Amino acid sequence: MDGIASDVAVGVKRGSDELLSGSLYNSPNSGMSSISDGTSNGSDSKKLRVEDRMDAPPSRVLHIRKLPNEVTETEIIALGLPFGKVTNILTLKGKNQAFLELGTEEAAMTMVNYYTAVTPHVRNVPIYIQYSNHKELKTDNAGNQRAQAVLQAVSAVQSGGTPTSGSTASESALTPAPSPVLRIIIDNMFYPVTLDVLQQIFSKFGTVMKIITFTKNNQFQALLQYNDPVNAQQAKVALDGQNIYNACCTLRIDYSKLVNLNVKYNNDKSRDYTRPELPAGDGQPAVDPSVAAAFSKDSNSLLGKIPGALSPLSAAAAAAAAAGRVALSGHSGASGVLLASNLNEEMVTPQSLFTLFGVYGDVQRVKILYNKKDSALIQMADANQAQLAMSHLNGQKMYGKIIRVTMSKHQTVQLPREGLDDQGLTKDFTNSPLHRFKKPGSKNFQNIFPPSATLHLSNIPPDITEEDLRVLFSNSGGTVKAFKFFQDHKMALLQMTTVEEAIQALIDLHNYNMGDNHHLRVSFSKSTI
């Protein structure tokens, strides 16, 4: 193989507000006048206009373009895995292109059709997939050995992960999913697995509508319903046989004979996400979404090796959440107001809370309580954003203190009466230009990640160097451990030593004016450098 990308562990991301059909398939005048389908030696021998390609005959070899520079074979293979067996791969590193060969033409057609409607992303970069002129890939030169090894490893993980079914996962992916409902059994359950954990993991593959959990034959089991059987299929292929935590809590997944679940109560045993108004039922505690915060910490369980599968969860975090469940008070009302407590009252300001909570939604108002200055009310744009902020920020460190975030019983945050001086403790951000989510369908919705030591920087002016940014971020009181520019230098990844330092840097430097009206944008990243 000519170009083999360096191996960096990352995830694959799907879904976007851009439709591939708009940019490649139905729009010959989209400005992409020529695309190259390099042959196996990587030469730029064929230039074809998009129009010539629109009716290209189906082939089991797919041509993938606009890949990010550091892409790995594993990430490219992961694009094809939900649709069937991947039989070969060739990357053209210098061209940011690759060829992927699937086991059958049907699998390739399913993949192209799916990604026509949902723009595929690798490392948050939209990529383009189309049929290749090649009918098969011939990659016999020595450089291709590593790609073949990666292919074999992925196939082994897949087939090793389906002891419950007779076929391998890759074969089963070729047949349509019989049901949108999955039956999930958890083996080696040394740590508690909650309904929230399952929802967080399985929602990476589509909209989870309903979950019912129960114990049968002394095993924790769940039934989980997607809105589409295709999502159930993808989740089964990617997750069957994986461990939720390091070396334990193994997922065994099969299709259920049921095609629809009937959920009567919303509590910590069952949930219908389409009907939030359901009662909690027989004295069951209402589900506490703040527990989910503890599950966003990283670890190196096997899931970290499956691109695009899940954010691996650490056993310590799971145990902490299970122990903390009793102490947390979640309100199941649909208010968008949060109560943050145990704040550092010497340091915290409405502006700093606006910036941090603004990563997860559009903060409307902030009120630091006059008689209890280590607590604040934060009004988000809606209840979903409030839940998101709570699940990601509860238990994080801000200004040296572990903050607690719960739903408030208040429906809104009151502004002080006119003429009353409340020492700047209440601030109205309703018309702030800094809201990240005011545009419907904004890309920002897809880039919401838990607080992490690695920050994603964008809107960097052309004359700013790595050294400038290292100095700037060191001044926020932390140490910059690693840095990496993206190809165009408008974006970069910057890694602080701890998550707390990264939170501090984001609060201090999001919207920082770099000169010439370039305001730096800072968010948490799921990548590592």
**pLDDT tops 70 at residue 169:** no
Flag whether pLDDT at 409 surpasses 70.
yes
Would you mind telling me the total number of residues written for the chain in this entry? 529
Mean pLDDT over 305-314 rounds to 34
Distance (Å, rounded) from C-alpha 72 to C-alpha 98?
10
Split at pLDDT 50, 70, 90, the class of 12 is very low
Lowest mean pLDDT among 7-21, 52-66, 215-229, 316-330: 7-21
Percent of the chain having pLDDT more than 90? 36
Q: Which residues of 57-66 are buried (b: 16+ CB within 10 A; e: fewer)?
A: eebbbbbbbe
Tell me: the pLDDT tens digits for 239-295?
Answer: 888 888 766 788 999 999 888 898 999 988 899 988 888 888 754 444 443 333 333
pLDDT per position as a tens digit, 43-60: 333 333 333 344 578 999
CB 511 within 8 A of CB 444: no
- What pLDDT is attached to residue 469? 96
pTM greater than 0.85 (yes/no): no
Domains and CATH numbers, the chain: 61-138 (3.30.70.330), 181-272 (3.30.70.330), 337-415+423-435 (3.30.70.330), 445-524 (3.30.70.330)
| pLDDT tens column, 228-242 | 888 898 888 888 888
Please tell me the distance from the alpha carbon of residue 11 to that of residue 81, in angstroms, as a whole number. 14
Instruction: State the pLDDT at residue 483.
Output: 97
Count of helices and strands (H, E) across the chain: 13, 26
Identify the residue whose tokens are 């230098």: 489
Sequential DSSP letters for 201-240: HHGGGS-EEEEEEEEETTEEEEEEEESSHHHHHHHHHHHT
Alpha carbons 459 and 408: distance in angstroms, whole number: 35
**Cα pseudo-dihedral 237, 241, 246, 247, rounded to 10:** -160
Q: Which of 297, 290, 293 is nearest to 326 (CA)?
A: 290
Determine what percent of the chain is predicted with pLDDT higher than 70: 71
Q: What's the whole-number mean pLDDT along residues 202-220?
A: 88
pLDDT tens-digit readout, 99-126: 999 989 988 988 888 888 778 888 878 9
Taking the C-alpha atoms of residue 347 and residue 358, their distance in angstroms, rounded to an integer, is: 18
What confidence score (pLDDT) does residue 325 get?
30
pLDDT digits (tens, 9 = 90+) for 170-194: 333 335 567 899 999 998 777 778 8
Q: What share of the chain is helix, strand, coil (3-state, %, to 5)?
A: 30, 25, 50
What is residue 317's predicted lDDT score, i.e. its pLDDT? 38
Asked if pLDDT for residue 32 goes beyond 60, the answer is no
Taking only the tens place, the pLDDT of each residue in 115-159 is: 887 788 888 789 999 999 999 988 765 556 667 777 776 665 444
C-alpha to C-alpha distance for 248 and 218, rounded to whole angstroms: 16
- Other CB atoms within a 10 A radius of the CB of residue 152 amount to 10
